[in-house]
Amino acid sequence: MPKPAGRDRLSFIEPLMPTLVDKPPEGDGWIHEVKFDGYRSQIVRDVDGVRIFSRRGLDWTAKYRDLAKAASGLDAEDAIIDGEVIVTNEAGLSDFKALRKAITSRQQDLYFVAFDLLHFNGRDLRDMPLEDRREILAEMIPPGGRIQFSQSLPGDAKSIFHLIDQAGLEGMVSKRKESKYRSGNSTAWLKAKCYAIDEYDLLGVEREAGKPAFALLAERGTGRYVGSAFITLNREMRERLWQRALEHAGTAPNGMKRPATQWVRPGLIGRVKHLRGEDDLRHASLQDFREVGTP
């Protein structure tokens, strides 16, 4: 563990990254928080003022001018705060697409949701239990400002996850109450993500003997390739998909090279189940497909 820094210039700390799991952990040894759909960020306040870093340690203070100003008003001589920069929509949910626009044109819509405190008033807190770090963090953040504290959610993990899914949120993060903060991938924090079902343009079908079949997909209206989805249809539907792919045979879009792929012309739409809150498809499966113009 690094020696605690004095009240000098502080450095960015590589964040702790949660492990993705299928379902949240049960038991009393965990706290559960909403997983926000934004940019993981770190506020560093020291003798030189406030800086805000991206997850990879890039200085994004200029992008977050208003948040940096808000952080300068926190009750701390120096601090390193782990959190997420977000924008909320009309329903009060974090909105990743709106966040990108807000950074360049609507700074007043940005919020920083703080969930951990790594350094405070000359002390390195990373060896302190999570619950104690968060208690200090909650006390230093006034209510109603641009910087907000990520409250833990009451109840058992299964019920919380169900409510988060029903609310249309991205997922939840569960953290061991007694855990220390260690940079890099960790099982002390676990993230369970919810699934969404959306429609995408079908670009092609990838079939190779002895391997799973995939549907290659693009964002509707833009043609942007978003990834592939396992084809888990029943045998009858799979055969119907192969037939439609042959009937709509086309060429590879934008020079894409996938040797085992049957490319299709525009006109087929795939209904896909995938992890919510991702730019591209992850853990995706093709649930159904249709032709343009059919319900």
Give catalytic residue positions. Answer: 35
Distance between CA 169 and CA 34 in Å, rounded?
8
Read off the DSSP letter of residue 209: T
- Copy the structure tokens of residue 57: 């340690």
Residue recorded with tokens 């879009």: 253
Q: Which of 79, 39, 35 is nearest to 58 (CA)?
A: 39
Which letter, b or e, does each residue of 26-39 get, where b requires 16 or more Cβ atoms within 10 Å of its Cβ? eeeebbbbbbbbbb
Strand ranges of the sheet holding 16-21, from the earlier edge strand across to the other edge = 16-21, 184-193, 171-176, 30-35
Read off the DSSP letter of residue 59: B
Distance between CA 287 and CA 271 in Å, rounded?
6
